[in-house]
Structure 1
């Protein structure tokens, strides 16, 4: 079982803590916040986790080694976090919108996670859209790709609001990386609607040779795979007109501690746990091999 630490105490970080506690491969050794009196710190303590204030410096003060550190802070702080951890044994899984580390999307290249110590999970919009965009790009060469994400205002915390430019840049760069499209464009809408809407990504691909039935079969297959990671992932529409594919997916959060509109948090939380468990499974396999 791998010992983990969580940097952050927001809703996403607390969902990670709960997932870690429910994982047979992971142990939550420490939850770290900025201040000792925050509501998130109190909730983490109530969940039975050791807590510490003061940011990443608290890792050194903990007096123990951590196999996995989840960074759920912000894009501005992340480079310093990796600089501090690069010389340790810890793997850093980045849930902030940066372009550092090896980009991992479980439904695309999740099996590669165990080979890397600095893992970037892009953004929630990237995790929701890239599996479909990548799958289509394997069969049709895209000239242009667009993705528009819409998240409920209540599910977008302070750190995410500070990182809106970074969110756009990281998502757009990752989409280009996984699709090799000639041009890409990413947008993010934060909706104040009441009741809050579910998280939604609308995708457009322009490519030669698109056909409705083969493309829809392909997209539906990817959506089914995504549902194994995120049960609330649902394909809303998929249409091909001439050389243009338009697909829309919605993600409704299904976990008890998440409001239903927070599918954006659930999709990236699931990706983080998958990456961590790949490391744990690789460690177990290596130990068994040595035992032989």
Structure 2
């Protein structure tokens, strides 16, 4: 159990950009079990570090090395959120692992197992590093899992995540390839589809659009009623930590039989039910405006995961 006098687990956030700053504000305003210990960045003029200073959070612009150099504070940190980029996460994780820190990875690096809280968090509470997939993955994989859990098989699932270009910072833009690859793999590994595909669209529309996601699944062995019920139940589960998560309309269905199989280019022909699920994710506007639901669902999932680890693995009570 942590020795903090506040009985909270002290955390550090690496990355003072959009995601890191939004996460910091969530920890400070909403968490009953986590306490901000440090905000780590590399740009001394970043808005995230400036906000952290105003909110009385210890900061460094010398990267993770700057935090490690503060030995007394580093010893107190139990959980580290990495909100930087995939290509530097391995280095960050190595340092954290040597220091005995648990890492919640908000980059697409995927060194640790994929974690989508409403689907598989209980399986990964003992891990040193857990990966939060991507914003598109956090929004859509619960829907794939909702179809999978009532079906005998889901041969294929495809997700399309559309976000405002204003809510995509340099970290997101630098990781587009990793985004699509990581999300597609997680659609399979966590969502349960035999084959997954992911697409992200950065929409420059003005005024900025709220995050929209479309999920397509081809399933076998479940009725339309069973799929619809499972999807609605999963939406409510996600809403417990992302209140702005909602269906845009009823789930759409199309049946494919032996006389009209669905042809998936490069994959094959299949029979079954094609389900089309339309989602909208409105953010809580803790840092960026409400249209940035892609940030909100990512940071909310990361926060929820760390809080679960804090209570179940580190023994802190809410």
After superposition, residues 61-210 of structure 1 pair within 5 angstroms as: 61-63=69-71, 64=73, 65=75, 66-140=77-151, 141-210=153-222
CA contact (8 A) 1:97 1:122 kept: yes
Give the match's secondary structure for 1:174.
Answer: helix
Q: 1:240 aligns with which of 253, 265, 270?
A: 253
* 1:14 equivalenced with 2:21 (yes/no): yes
1:41-92 deviations in whole A, cap 9, x for unaligned?
1111111111101111112112222101100000111111111111222101
Q: Which runs of 5+ in 1 are unaligned?
A: 288-292
Q: Per the alignment, in what secondary structure is the counterpart of residue 3 of structure 1?
A: strand
Decide whether aligned partners of structure 1 residues 35 and 254 sit closer, same or farther in structure 2, where only a CA change above 3 A counts: closer
Per the normalisation by structure 1, the TM-score is: 0.94
Q: In structure 2, how many angstroms separate the alpha carbons of the residues matched to 1:286 and 1:157? A: 34
The TM-score normalised by the length of structure 2 is: 0.86
Q: Distance in 1 between matches of 2:60 and 2:233?
A: 43
1:24 is matched with 32
C-alpha displacement at 1:113, in angstroms? 4.2
Radius of gyration: which is bigger?
Answer: 2
Secondary structure of 1:249 counterpart: strand
- Following superposition, the deviation at residue 98 of structure 1 comes to 1.9
CA distance in 1, matches of 2:27, 2:284: 17
Give the Å deviation of 1:39. Answer: 2.2
Q: Would the aligned equivalents of 1:211 and 1:240 in 2 still touch at CA under 8 Å?
A: no
Where structure 2 has 5 or more consecutive residues not aligned to the other structure, the ranges are 1-7, 256-272
Q: Paired residue for 2:4?
A: none
Runs (4+) of structure 1 moved beyond 4 Å? none
The alignment partner of 1:189 has SS state of strand
Q: In the TM superposition, what is the alpha-carbon distance from 1:132 to its structure 2 partner?
A: 1.3
